[in-house]
Amino acid sequence: MSWGSWSEFIAMGGYGVYVWSAFVMCAVALALEAWLLALRRRNIVDYLRIGARQD
């Protein structure tokens, strides 16, 4: 598949809103999960660090 131009690529044959909202939601959701997981890890690690210092 070769696209004539950037704007043609973005337009997706008139279905741009549908195609990009599907792909962007996937990217956002997966990134959000990874970020929330990093926060969860930081929480428990910080808690253990404080505990370890008090030993």
Partner 1 sequence: MPMSISACLRYAAPQAFYALAGRLVPWFAAAAAAAAAAGLYVAFFVAPTDAQQGEVYRIIFVHVPAAWMSMFIYVVMAFWAAVGLAFNTRLSFMLAHALAPTGALFAFLALWTGAIWGKPTWGAWWVWDARLTSELILLFLYLGYVALNASIDDPRRGDRACALLALAGAVNVPVIYHSVQWSPMLHQSASMLMALAFWMYSIAMALARVRCVILEREQESAWAGAEFRGALQARPA
Residues that bind partner 1 (CB under 8 A): 1-3, 9, 12-15, 18-19, 21-23, 25-26, 29-30, 33-34, 37, 40-41, 44-45, 47-49, 51-52, 55
Count Cβ atoms below 10 Å from residue 11 Cβ, excluding itself: 15
Nearer to partner 1, 5 or 55 (CB): 55
Tokens of 24: 């962007």
- 1 vs 5, which CB is nearer to partner 1? 1
**Which residues neighbour 10 within 8 Å (Cβ) at sequence distance 6 or greater?**
16, 20
**Identity of the residue, 5 or 52, whose beta carbon is nearer to partner 1 in the bound complex:** 52
